[in-house]
Amino acid sequence: MILATCAALALALANPAGGGTYQLTQDCAPVAGKQPGPALTIRARYAAPVVIEAGRHDIAGMAVIGGGNVTLRGGRIMAPGGAQGIWPAGPAYYGLLLRGATGVVIEGTRFTNARKAVVVDESAGITIRFTRCEGGVEDCVIASRTAGLAYVHNIAGPFWTVPTICNIAGAVTKGLGKAACSSAGGTWTDGWHQDVLQLRDKVTDVLAAWNVINTTGQGITQMDTAGDLPLALVRVTGNDIRAGRHGLTLGRCAGCSIDRNWLASSVPGWKAVIIPGQALACGNTVPSGGAGREACK
């Protein structure tokens, strides 16, 4: 095992011929700039596996862009922009960005103080396991255009609640709807729409299993936008989910299944139901009733 400061680790990771296990010896601060950048950026696809043992150290943002064959164990990841990124958007407020990444494993890492804890796009062979996502996070994982994603044995929640804000001549009201705010002559700012695992736009070959989710927002969801392609081969199994709306929702999803999950509402007076879309749903425990409770054949 090689002991490494943040600077030494960044230098070692720049070599695609490298490999081995690195033990981080300090917290890693964001890269300074007009907008703060991630403390660690990996662009190499390593010939031999690289393992980063982060221990209990903080990492102010990490990105794997076009790189791969790397494992991160432990550590606490926060966005380079820090906890003040409640409403601002963009990569400065991502904890971990995986774009064009291949063969990346995230294990035992804690995510907090990042509007988007993990963003996965155009990647393959991604595993996120035994992590914790909590506190100042809007979305734990958002994945798009990715083949091969395992999200297993993770704990998500509880989270901050960030309501809408209506500013009427300097007087701020929280939780007011947009129409009511506009009719009162106010300026409306949307709050957070939290998801633990959000899949969209041609994500395929996904296993979301054995996670424990506790949120007043959304749990495991497919949330398409205009022009998105369907999902395929998604299996959601063995999860314990307490959520608000859309605790477990799929839509256009070919060859997908939702089985043996436990789903309940975390909001008094609300019902939690499975919305399976095209997925086969069976063997789930849902106290509120609805689809997906019949025995699996």
Q: Same structural domain for residues 130 and 119?
A: yes
In angstroms, how far is the first alpha carbon of the chain from the final one?
Answer: 49
User: 226 in a domain, yes or no?
Assistant: yes
Strand locations in 6-86, DSSP E?
A: 20-24, 40-42, 45-60, 62-65, 68-78
- Residue 288 falls within a domain, yes or no? no
How many CA atoms within 13 Å lie on the side-chain side of 59?
Answer: 33
Q: Which sign, positive or negative, has the C-alpha torsion 234, 236, 241, 245? A: positive
Q: Residues 156, 12: one domain?
A: yes
Average pLDDT of the segment spanning 60-78: 97
Is residue 34 predicted with pLDDT exceeding 80? Answer: no
Q: Which of 62, 138, 47 is nearest to 96 (CA)?
A: 62
Domain count along the chain: 2
pLDDT for residue 23 is more than 60: yes
- The pLDDT-based confidence of 35 (bands split at 50, 70, 90) is confident
Residue given tokens 């601002």 in the structure block: 88
Question: What is the pLDDT, as a whole number, of residue 119?
Answer: 97
Domain boundary at 174, 192, 210, which? 192
C-beta separation of 75 from 56 below 8 A: yes
Assign 87 a pLDDT band (cuts: 50, 70, 90).
low
Segment 151-159 shows an average pLDDT of 96
220 falls within a domain:
yes
Burial of 297 (0-12, 13-18, 19+ CB in 10 A): exposed
Lowest pLDDT segment from 10-24, 39-53, 203-217: 10-24
User: Is the domain of 50 the same as that of 180?
Assistant: no
Instruction: Check residues 83 and 242 and name the one with the higher pLDDT.
Output: 242
State which amino acid sits at residue 212.
V
* pLDDT above 80 for 79: yes
pTM above 0.75, yes or no: yes
Structure-block tokens of residue 271: 């019902």
Amino acid identity of residue 234, one-letter, is V
**Could you check whether the bond before residue 158 is cis, i.e. omega within 30 degrees of 0?**
yes
- 154 in the same domain as 172: no
Residues 178 and 231 in one domain: no
Q: Do 64 and 169 belong together in one domain?
A: no
Give the Cα separation of 102 and 91 in Å (integer): 20
Q: Phi, psi (5° rounding) for residue 218?
A: -105, 155
Q: Note whether residue 100 is domain-resident.
A: yes
Give the pLDDT confidence score for residue 85 in this predicted structure: 54
Element holding 135 (H helix, E strand): strand 132-135
73 has pLDDT over 70: yes
Pair 127, 254 in one domain: yes
Domain membership of residue 255 (yes or no) is yes
201 near 145, Cβ under 8 Å?
yes
Q: What is the pLDDT of residue 89?
A: 77
- CATH number reported for the structural domain that contains residue 68 in this entry: 2.160.20.10
For residues 37-42, give the mean pLDDT. 94
d(CA 156, CA 239): 11
- Say if residue 178 is in the same domain as residue 31: no
Domain membership of residue 107 (yes or no) is: yes
Whether residue 49 is contained in a domain is answered as yes
Return the pLDDT at 98.
98
Give me the pLDDT at residue 184, please: 87
Indicate if the pLDDT at residue 176 is higher than 60: yes
Res. 135: pLDDT tops 90 = yes
**Do 55 and 178 belong to one domain?**
no
Q: Can you tell me whether residue 238 is helix, strand or coil? A: coil
Considering the domain architecture, whether residues 31 and 174 belong to the same structural domain is answered as no
Residue 290 inside a domain? The answer is no
Q: Are residues 173 and 157 in the same domain?
A: no
At 185-222, the pLDDT tens digits run: 889 988 888 899 999 999 999 999 999 999 999 999 99
Q: Whole-number mean pLDDT of the chain?
A: 93
169: containing domain: 162-192
pLDDT average, residue stretch 106-130 = 97
Rounded distance between C-alpha atoms, residue 284 and residue 150, angstroms = 20
pLDDT tens readout for residues 254-284: 999 999 999 999 998 888 899 999 999 999 9
Among candidate residues 192, 210, 239, the one where a domain is terminated: 192
Both 174 and 274 in one domain: the answer is no
